[in-house]
């Protein structure tokens, strides 16, 4: 097995030479799968690991959720002998020159990072680790986690020394930005490593799957911080947008008009108001844990997190207010939710919006039904969502909530929906796709997040 720590550009300057190296991607989910595809496309032999039996079965077929294009790609790579799927982390590590760790840390009920799965994975990797291998973390971890506890696990289980016997590096990327391998290849990479040899090797390896810039930093801890600070910055900007949106509602100003001015004239940077996505919340708690360990306070970040949590209640207040104007009670209302994907016009996990918004509304009203053009009824049922075709979902509804602003919803036939709905229906536009005047003209009571322009 070639020593990856001694690798240089000439060793992997062609697909044929890349075949001398095997990359183990652990674990092949939403973050790992795009990496696996890119490495195979570059010519590396790839072992894609997923320890979930159901997901492994899908991986072998190339049919992972939210990766429709991965099917043909993984099939192609498997036929060429460049990709195999496995459930054995230890074996994959022992056969790999490069080990990519793509295990996402979760946040427990006490809002503390749960590194148990990552620790278990690292123990398995360590027991199969060979001298001369390179480990690269591409998942988010708190600053100091990789150099600290994860390094210790590798060394104890393998009997090898980081920086001497194996390389250790980190190049985490924002999973919230991922919609496939093409997007991953376009993202700029920040790389930190335990020593110069690891840094050089990681940069050379990642350059084969990256079309954008690779920036080397002084340590793994710095690379971890760059990644998390990006999401903390995004969350703070999101909180500002949500707070200003609430003000706009009360001042009867249209936030979207202000947003168009800001974006069109490049006057200042402003985000649309909305629900903060999962990675923003997760990275905040990853950073908070490390800040508390050094007796530091994240005052502004804590306030931003609190503000973004409250936007769910603001959405419900809009629903409640709209129903009140319609002469209806919340408890007896049927609510139709249109759009559950995190992003407009793509098929992306509905888990975050389900947990944060839909489940909250479910506890307040009689019935909630959902519709999203990118998901089948069966797929939504896996998230405990009651769904149907659009006409059935809006039939006899009291309130339509547009949660995700798919372009298709801009062309909704409001006249037809009004006909199918109950008398005096409401529209609450969180996705910002409905013209308030048009909605009111068609007989709806309109409310929109940040859009204080309704007249009823």
**What number is the average pLDDT over the span 309-319?**
95
- Is 171 found in the same domain as 144? yes
Cross-strand bridge partners of residue 190: 215
**Mean pLDDT score across all residues of the chain:** 92
Instruction: Please give the average per-residue pLDDT across 333-341, as a whole number.
Output: 95
Q: Give residue 181's pLDDT.
A: 65
Residue scoring higher pLDDT (354 or 222):
222
**Stronger pLDDT, 417 or 267, i.e. the higher one:** 417
Same-domain status, 151 and 175: yes
Tell whether 294 and 326 lie within a shared domain: no
Q: How many CB atoms lie within 10 A of CB 214?
A: 15
User: Percent of the chain, pLDDT > 90?
Assistant: 77
Last residue of a domain, one of 302, 337, 361: 302
The model's pLDDT over 186-227, given as tens digits with 9 standing for 90+, comes to: 889 999 999 999 999 999 999 999 999 999 999 999 999 999
Q: Is a pLDDT exceeding 70 seen at residue 108?
A: yes
Residue 70 has pLDDT above 60, yes or no: no
Instruction: Extract the runs of DSSP E, i.e. beta strands, from 204-317.
Output: 214-216
Residue 146: predicted pLDDT: 97
What is the rounded distance in angstroms from the CA atom of residue 368 to the CA atom of residue 428?
A: 14
More confident position, 85 or 267: 85
Contact 204, 21 (CB under 8 A): no
Structure tokens at 190: 């920040």
The reply to whether 30 falls in a domain is yes
Check which CATH number belongs to the domain holding 107 and give it.
3.40.50.720
Compute the average pLDDT of residues 281-297. 93
> pLDDT at residue 71 above 70?
no
State the distance between the two ends of the chain, measured CA to CA, in whole angstroms.
72
Question: Does residue 223 form part of some domain?
Answer: no
Predicted confidence at residue 205, as pLDDT, reads 97
Do 408 and 276 sit in the same domain of this protein?
no
Q: pLDDT at residue 178 above 60?
A: no
Choose the weakest-confidence range: 33-47, 62-76, 274-288, 329-343. Answer: 62-76
**Domain assignment present for 456:** no
Tell me if 31 sits within 8 A of 58, measured CB to CB.
no
What's the confidence (pLDDT) of residue 422? 84
Same domain, 25 and 154: yes
pLDDT on residue 176: 61
The DSSP letter of residue 103 is: P
How far is residue 31's CA from residue 426's CA, in Å, rounded to a whole number? 39
Given 199, 218, 237, the domain boundary residue is 218
Bridge partner list, 427: 400, 446
d(CA 58, CA 36): 15
Q: What is the pLDDT of residues 414-452, one digit of tens each?
A: 999 999 998 889 999 999 999 999 999 999 999 999 999
Pairing of strands 22-26, 45-49: parallel
pLDDT value at 241 more than 60? yes
Task: Give pLDDT, residue 116.
Answer: 96
- Please compute the mean of the pLDDT values over residues 226-240 and round it to a whole number: 94
Question: How many residues would you count in the chain?
Answer: 456
Q: What is the pTM of this model?
A: 0.91
Over 90: is that where the pLDDT of 67 sits? Answer: no
Q: Which residue has the tokens 């690891």?
A: 198
The pLDDT value recorded for residue 343 is 85
Query: DSSP letter at 387?
Result: B
User: Quick check: is 441 in a domain?
Assistant: yes
Structure token pair of residue 3: 């020593």
**pLDDT tens digit string along 396-407?**
999 999 999 999
Q: How far apart are CA 152 and CA 142, in angstroms?
A: 16
Q: What is the tally of structural domains in the chain?
A: 3
| Average pLDDT estimate for 370-389 | 93
How far is it, in rounded angstroms, from Cα 94 to Cα 295? 40
Domain residue limits at 258: 228-302
Q: Torsions phi, psi of 296, nearest 5?
A: -115, 145
Structure tokens at 213: 């810039």
Query: Mind listing the pLDDT tens digit for each residue in 118-130?
Result: 999 999 999 999 9
* Cα gap 440→451, rounded to integer Å: 14
* Residues 14 and 94 placed together within one structural domain of the fold: yes
How high is the pLDDT of residue 63?
A: 64
Confidence at 80, pLDDT banded by 50, 70, 90: confident
Q: From residue 271, how far is each of 263, 344, 354 by CA, in Å?
A: 9, 15, 22
pLDDT score of 17:
95
Is the pLDDT confidence value at 95 over 70?
yes
User: Would you state the torsion angle of the CA atoms of residues 233, 238, 243, 249, taken in this order, to the nearest 10 degrees?
Assistant: 160
Does residue 454 belong to any structural domain of this protein?
Answer: no
448: tokens are 């929109």
**Which residue, of 218, 243, 271, is where some domain finishes?**
218
């Amino acid at each position: 097995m070639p020593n990856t720590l001694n690798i240089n550009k000439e060793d992997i300057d062609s697909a044929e030479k890349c075949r001398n190296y095997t990359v183990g991607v652990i674990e092949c989910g939403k973050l790992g799968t795009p990496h696996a595809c890119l490495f195979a496309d570059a010519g590396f032999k790839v072992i894609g690991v997923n320890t979930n039996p159901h997901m492994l079965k899908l991986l072998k077929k190339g049919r992972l959720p939210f990766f429709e294009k991965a099917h043909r790609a993984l099939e192609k790579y498997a036929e060429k002998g460049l990709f195999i799927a496995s459930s054995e982390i230890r074996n994959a590590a022992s056969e790999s020159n490069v080990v990519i760790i793509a295990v996402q840390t979760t946040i427990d009920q006490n809002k503390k990072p749960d590194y148990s799965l990552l620790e278990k994975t690292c123990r398995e990797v360590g027991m199969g680790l060979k001298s001369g291998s390179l480990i690269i973390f591409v998942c988010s971890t708190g600053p100091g986690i990789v150099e600290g506890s994860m390094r210790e696990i590798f060394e104890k289980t393998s009997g090898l020394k980081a920086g001497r016997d194996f390389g250790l590096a980190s190049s985490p990327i924002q999973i919230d930005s991922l919609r496939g391998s093409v997007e991953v290849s376009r993202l700029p990479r920040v790389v930190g490593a335990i020593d110069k040899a690891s840094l050089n090797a990681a940069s050379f390896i990642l350059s084969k799957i990256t079309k954008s810039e690779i920036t080397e930093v002084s340590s793994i801890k710095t690379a971890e911080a760059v990644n998390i600070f990006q999401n903390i910055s995004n969350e703070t900007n999101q909180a500002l947008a949500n707070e200003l949106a609430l003000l706009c509602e009360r001042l009867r100003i249209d936030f979207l008009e202000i947003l168009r001015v800001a974006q069109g004239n490049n006057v200042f940077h402003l985000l649309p108001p909305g629900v903060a996505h999962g990675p923003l919340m997760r990275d905040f708690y990853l950073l908070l844990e490390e800040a508390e360990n050094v007796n530091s306070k994240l005052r502004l970040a804590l306030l931003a997190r609190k503000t973004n949590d409250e936007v769910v209640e603001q959405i419900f207040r809009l629903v409640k207010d709209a129903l009140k104007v319609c002469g209806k009670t919340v408890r007896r209302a049927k609510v139709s939710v249109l759009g559950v994907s995190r992003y407009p016009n793509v098929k992306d996990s509905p888990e975050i919006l389900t947990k944060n918004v839909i489940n909250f509304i479910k506890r307040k009203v009689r019935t909630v039904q959902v519709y999203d053009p990118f998901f089948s009824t069966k797929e939504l049922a896996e998230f405990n969502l009651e769904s149907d075709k659009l006409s059935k979902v809006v039939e006899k509804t009291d309130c339509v909530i547009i949660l995700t602003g798919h372009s298709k919803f801009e062309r909704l036939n409001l006249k037809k929906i009004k006909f199918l709905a109950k008398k005096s229906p409401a529209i609450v536009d969180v996705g910002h796709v409905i013209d308030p005047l048009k909605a009111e003209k068609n007989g709806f009571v309109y409310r929109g997040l940040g859009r204080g322009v309704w007249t009823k």
